[in-house]
Each structure stands twice: as structure tokens, then as C-alpha cells.
Structure 1
């Protein structure tokens, strides 16, 4: 390396370059999780002044910069530059206080260039500042976005992260260019939607099954309802992940989630939320007003859960059970099927038990005794969770028995003794789920686990078969 090369600093952008995320959006979502009123007030007050907005958001929401995902290719470049004795400098449109803290945390030069509450150091403003400091071609610059196109032509060497088109154009103009890995893919965004969770929406079929309405006029609207609920659920999963960025990064497995890991940019997630919410509410309105109201209520309750309720001990489990129960109500509304009050009273304690199983699993698999990140439970609560799960199991079986001797139960299921027999595999399934959660032998989501568990599915099929037998459906379908 020549003396001139060694003297030339390596200047790095932060958002999307050094970090696989954006500090302004990180601060906004962290603020919504911790101080929603102050955050929304700052956003509305300074919406037209980006520099002031960044300073205020940085003041409201302190970020764990040590948890931020770093771009591997840029990290390697930094190590190479340090080994060569070069100064590595951050130049970012993010707030100056955050950039200085990040430079210190990463062991980079204390000399930084950033937005200061008055000037938004982006694009042309950044280019002019760097040229004034180092001269034309007096620095190498690493960037990733359209805003960096104003800076690269003034650098000696342009390091381009994840933008092949910009790299090609700069090279064609005769500038030295080095391409670095970066960017995101649609596959990673789809992963953020958690499509494996859509299987939970088969709960919308329960009213159809319980009422024995096996006709296309009932089935088709419910299937459309499942699509709407899948879109609604995915939209809330995105919001939940954006609010939980710090907690997820501290979790033993959730740190790999697309937004926490930086695999998908936060603005892309926000756009996906809008599209999915629009699809869910649009389908809801197209089906019928009742179903639209259920979808809207589900989304609002889910949002409240993400913002506040999931951090409240026991309230979070009751809310989880309510969200599952709402799916059954949604199936009845979509197919315009009368749902028995006994069904709703029966499934709620079932989902209370499964909510406890979810927390038991997380606590059993946790690596320490401290409270779960973003939750109100620690290992000391495992006994209480087991007790509440047991109450849920017993409550569900008692309510099922009462339904079997009710007038409605006797009409739909004339062979009552077969319903009592069905309680045996039903109880087996519930107790087994609780036990698996206690020993940490299932997925973090019990519903998703249940729909992939072959033995559990077999037990459920036995239960369902006995219920069909009690209803006389086997004789009706197959004769005899």
C-alpha cells in the first residue's frame, strides 16, 4: 500500500451499510414500544424536518447499538482497513449522538459526520461536507442507497453494498468500484410473514364442523375468511416483530427473525403491513359486515397485545386465548353459521391451557433464570403456569360434558355416551400438550406444533371420529 492510500480514510455510511438496518426507523419502533405518545408526538411535530425528527427520536428512544446487525462484508472491509492503519470514519444522515456512540462501540475513529438537529447530512449535503474535509477523491466511500449516488462520484473508490446497478453505472463512468454483498430478497420477506402460522386459521372451520354444515355455500366464504385472517395475522406479525426488535435480538432463537437480523429492511416491512392489512379488511368487507367487524376487532386486539398486553403477566395468556377464540367466531361470521355458546365457553379454557403451554415451553428452553425478554415471566412462574394450564384442561372437559347433556348437544349428538367416550382421547391430548410444554419438547407455538405432531393429530382424529359417530354422520355418509 502506498503512503497516499494509507492516508486516504475509509468513510462509511451507517444505515443499510455498516448496519443492516436504519437507526431512525429503529428508534421510531423502539419508541412506540416504550413511549408511544412521545414518539408519535415527535413524529407529528417534526415530520417535515428530518434533522429535528432524528434528534428527537434519538432522545426519546435509547437504542442498544451493541445488538444492531452489522453487514458482514462491511465488517471484513473495516478489519482490512484497520490492519492497514487507515482511519475508518462514519458519515451518516442519522443523529450525531447515535453515530458517535456507534463509532465508539465499533472501535472506529472518533471523528464522525452526522445530522445535528439542524442539518440532515444526506446525499448532496454529505457529499459537500466530505469534499470540504478531504477534497475531491481524497477518501473512499462505502454506501448502499440512492442517496449515496451523490457521494460516490466524489470518492476515490466507490464501495457499493448490494446495488449492482449503481456499481455498473459508476464503473462505466470510469470510477474504481468494489461491490460488497448486501440487500434483501422476497424470500426473506415471505419468511417474515410467518406463513407456517397460517395453519392456525383452520380454527375458522370449527363452526362448520360443529354445526354439520358441509356444503359449498358455507365452505367457500369460510375459506375466503381464512385468507383474510392469514393476511391480518401476517400484518400483525410484522408489527409485533418491529416492536420487539431489541427483545428478539436478545432471544436465543428469535434473533434470526428477518427484521431483527437485518435480512429485511424495516421500511419494506412497513409497506408489507399496509398491503396485508388492506387485503384483510377488503376481503372482510366483501364477505359481510359481521365478518369485517370481527377481522377489525382481531387486528386491534392483536395490536394492543403487541404494544402492551403481552408484557402483562396472565393478561397476555388471556389475550392469546381470546385471539384464538375470535378465529372461531370469525368462521361462524364468514359462513353465517350459528355458533353454540357452549363451543365458545369450551374452547376458551382450551386456549388458556395452550397459552400456558407456550410460556412453559419458552421458560423451559430459556438459557437463564431471568425474565423472558419482553415478557413478564421467569422460571419461578413455571409452577403457577402449570396449575393454570391444569385448570384450563379440567374446565374444558367439564364444559364439554355439560354440553353433551344440553338440549342442543342431544339434538346434534343423539348418542351421548359416545361424546363421553370422546372425552378420553380429548383429555389425553390436552394433558400430553401440557406435559410436552413442561419438558420443553415442543415448538414455541403450541397450535403450530399440534398441527405437525403426528401422534397428537392421530388422537384428535380419534376424538373427531367419535363425535361424528355420536352425531350419526358416519351412518349418514356411508350407510348402515
Structure 2
């Protein structure tokens, strides 16, 4: 049995996350202006930045995702009587708090407001403390090669074949531990299953009965831009919701909350998606570009603040859904009736309430949901607002049928009125399913997978096409 201490890096090694990044995003959720100000002012002085951000927001260390193999290695070392030391470039106060919450020995080496304990600085501190080759060191990043060069045994989390080969050539013992991240997890963080919501961009084309190939191609480009923009916001939302997701029964498995994907990788993906979305939007014209920018700004405001505000959040959700319809009109250059926008808003308001009803359906306490402004006691009020949305949507559609726009598009208006019970049935059914908690956490995604609901929507759409005379035009019936 060796008496050499086992020295563990924290970020990406003992933890499957990075405390500085955790602190940055927790700070954005708590005090965004102060966090951004400190980040811009101190980015060249990382040791001071880490100390400053540690004072902005508290981190729940007990929720931090741990690398199980490294934790087991540490537990085995403790059982053998070896010293276990956390040596991290993260701020000293955070590392000490982590050691306390994870029941680790209190011996730590970490960054202060004067020293950034990283790379050569960390190697020097460890050699001063334990001597050349007097410790085993576990790390995960290329910069850790400067520490491994002075360690007896290099414990390498994640594949670094060139670094490992060089260390072995120098006579070092190398132990490789599985780590790193996978592209499939990053793609999962982009939530591609949510792209089905962007089918809403086709609504203006369907309402205007403009089915030319050129129009459809412009809308498809718009969907690509909107999908990339939405994914970039999903990443931001997940990074702001790390703590709330870790407290959730299923959301704790999301890529960033679980540590499957590093926060820095997610940030890079977010920036890339945002650039792509804005680039395609610029090609589609000023109107579409403006809608995309408005969507991204409103989504950021929702992630940072609005989703925590009771009732404001469902109104914002309805607005974000409505913007997809406006975006479809801008991409295809099809004019949208004001009635249509007024009609779809209460529908989306109802679906926003359904989303919250679904989340609250299985809550067992009266406490508000983490990161939300609602608790179980708000369910009756949400149900009432959803009911008002159903009534408002049906009433506005009925009034629309008397407008000049409707008269021009739908010669046989009495058939148009037959759609009203089906619209009401579809919405009421969605509310009932949400009240019972029998759908996933996005009603639009659920609606586009629900066979009964799709059947009702298709039948309703066929009645509208018949009222417009399209069946007769296309098929002679």
C-alpha cells in the first residue's frame, strides 16, 4: 500500500462540471448585470474573476454531478489511510465548500484572489507540498500535463493518447479513466424533437392557400433558421436552470445538469447556432431577421426573468408561439390577417396554461416549483385561464368568419362554422390531458404526436379547405 497522497483535480475530474462556469450561470440567473460586468472587467484576471463570482451567487454543492469512478477511487484511498487532496483552479471558498458537502478530507489547494492555481502554478504548489514524484494526480485537461510531469502516477480522465504516450515514454505510470462527452448528448441538448413546433411557420401559407413550391421553400429555410435559434435558447435555458433541473425527477438527466456535456461545450454550440440562425435570417430579408431577433431577445428575457413571474410566463409562452406564425408570414411574404393573430394567441395562451398544469399535476407539496412562479394551489386558476382561452379562440374565429378577408377566402361560410365544435373539442381535450398530467412537458410537441388530436385537426383543416373551395379546385369535388 502506498503512502503517497491522491490529488484530485475538481473541474472535469472529481466533478463532471466546472465550478467557474456553474458560478457564471448561477450569477446570470441571480444578478445578470453584475455578473456580466464582472466578467467583462476581470476576464484577464481569472483569479480575481473567480473570487468575485463566488460572491454573486451560491452553489448547491450537494447537487453537483460527481464522476463516479474518481469518487470511488477517492473512497478507496481514504479507506487505505491515504491522504486525499483536492487541487483545483477553482476558487478556494468553493472547493472548501465542496469538500465539506461531499464528505472529503479538508486538505485542499485552490485559487485565491491573488493566485490562479492552474497548470505550472498547480504543479509548483504540489511539488512544494509533497516533493517531486511524491503524489498521484488525477486530471482531465491538456493543461494537466504540466502537473502529471511531476507526479508519480498520472490518472487521466478522458482519452488523451498523445499526452499519455509522452508520459509513458518518460517512465510515468498512467491510469486511464473513461470520461469526456459525446456528440449525441450535445445534440440531445439542442432538443431536435422540439423542432416539430416550427411547423407553425406553415400556418400563414395554409391560411392564405398559397402552396407554390417557391413559397414552401422559403418557409423551410425559415424553419431551419428558427430551429437553430430555438436550440441556442434551449441551451441558455438549461444552463440557467441547472439547479432546478437537478432537483427535478427527470430533468436531472439533461446533458448539462447531469454533467454529460461540459458547460463550455454547450456555450460554444449555443453561439454557433445563434450565428447560423441570424445568418439564414438575414438572407430571408429584414422582416424575418427582425422577427428572429425579437424571438431570441424575448426568449432570453423569459429564461432570465419572465418565467419566474406568475401569469407573465404563460403570456410570454403564447407570444413566443405566435412569433413562429409571424415568422412564417415574413419568410413566405404572405400577408397575415389580424384576425388570425388574435385567434391564435388565446389558443397558445391555453396551451401555455396546459404546460404549467402538466408540471403541477404530480407535485405533492404546496411549495412553488423551483425556478417557477407556480405551485399546486395555482392549478384552479390556470384551469380558469385555459378555459377563457378556449372561449376566446372560438369566439374570435366565429367573428372572423364575418370579415371581408374570410368572405374572400371562404365562399361557403356555413361549412366554416362547422369547424367551431372541433376546435373547441381539441382545446378542451388538451386541457383535460394536461390537468391529469398525461402529456409530456410541451403541449405543442404532444399535439403533433397525439393521433386522436391530429385526426381532429386534419378533419378541421379539411372542412376549412372545403369551405374555401379547394377540394373542388384540386379534385373536382
What TM-score comes out, normalization by structure 1 length? 0.98
Query: How far 1:44 sits from its partner (Å)?
Result: 1.9
Where do residues 330-409 of structure 1 align in structure 2 (5 Å cutoff)?
330-409=327-406
Distance in structure 1 (CA, Å) of the matches to 2:369 and 2:165: 47
CA distance in 1, matches of 2:279, 2:302: 23
Q: Which moved more, 1:63-72 or 1:156-165?
A: 156-165
- Partner residue of 2:118? 122
Which stretch of structure 1 is more off in the superposition, 162-171 or 325-334?
A: 162-171
- Aligned partner of 2:88 in structure 1 is 92
2:462 to 457, 465, 474: 465
Segments of 5+ residues of structure 1 without an aligned counterpart are none
Written as runs of structure 1 = structure 2, the 5 A alignment for 1:22-101 is 22-101=18-97
Report the CA distance between 1:419 and its aligned residue.
Answer: 1.1
Give the equivalent residue in structure 2 for 1:216.
213
Paired residues in the alignment total 476
- The partner residue of 1:138 within 134, 137, 151 is 134
Partner of 2:230: 233
Instruction: Show CA shifts across 1:280-327 (max 9, x none).
Output: 110011111111111111100001101110000000000000000000
State the SS of the aligned residue for 2:89.
Answer: strand
- Partners of 1:416 and 1:217 lie apart in 2 by 29
Q: How does 1:97-176 map to 2 (within 5 A)?
A: 97-165=93-161, 166-176=163-173
Q: Distance in 2 between matches of 1:76 and 1:476?
A: 71
Alpha-carbon distance in structure 2 between the residues aligned to 1:212 and 1:187: 39
Provide, for residues 169-228 of structure 1, a one-character-per-residue CA deviation record: whole Å limited to 9, x for no partner. Answer: 322332111111110011110000000001000000000000000101211111100000
Task: For structure 2, list consecutive stretches of 5 or more residues without a partner in the other structure.
Answer: none
Q: Deviations over 1:385-426 (max 9, x none)?
A: 000000000000000101112221121111111111111211
- Which digits, 9 at most, give the CA deviation of each residue in 1:350-409, with x for residues without a partner? 000000000000000234331111000000000000000000000000001011122211
Asked if residue 257 in structure 1 is aligned to residue 254 in structure 2, the reply is yes
Alignment of 1:243-282 (within 5 A): 243-282=240-279
CA distance in 1, matches of 2:164, 2:469: 70
Distance in 1 (alpha carbons) for counterparts of 2:167 and 2:196: 47
Mapped contact 1:145–1:163 kept (Cα < 8 A): no
Stretch deviating more after TM superposition (92-101 or 399-408): 399-408
Q: Does 1:477 find its partner at 2:474?
A: yes
1:422 is aligned, of 419, 424, 442, to 419
SS of 1:60's partner is coil
Higher mean alpha-carbon deviation, 167-176 vs 96-105, is at 167-176
- The structure 2 residue matched to 1:19, chosen from 15, 30, 34, is 15
Q: Does 177-186 or 347-356 show the bigger shift?
A: 177-186
Moved more, 337-346 or 407-416: 407-416
Q: What do the CA deviations read for 1:226-249 (whole angstroms, capped 9, x no partner)?
A: 000000000000111111111111
Q: Give the CA deviation at 1:75.
A: 1.3
Preserved CA contact (<8 Å) 1:162 1:179: yes
Deviation of 1:464 after TM superposition, in Å, equals: 0.6
Q: For 1:59, what is the secondary structure of its paired residue? A: coil
Aligned residue among 178, 183, 192 for 1:186: 183
Matched, 1:206 2:203: yes
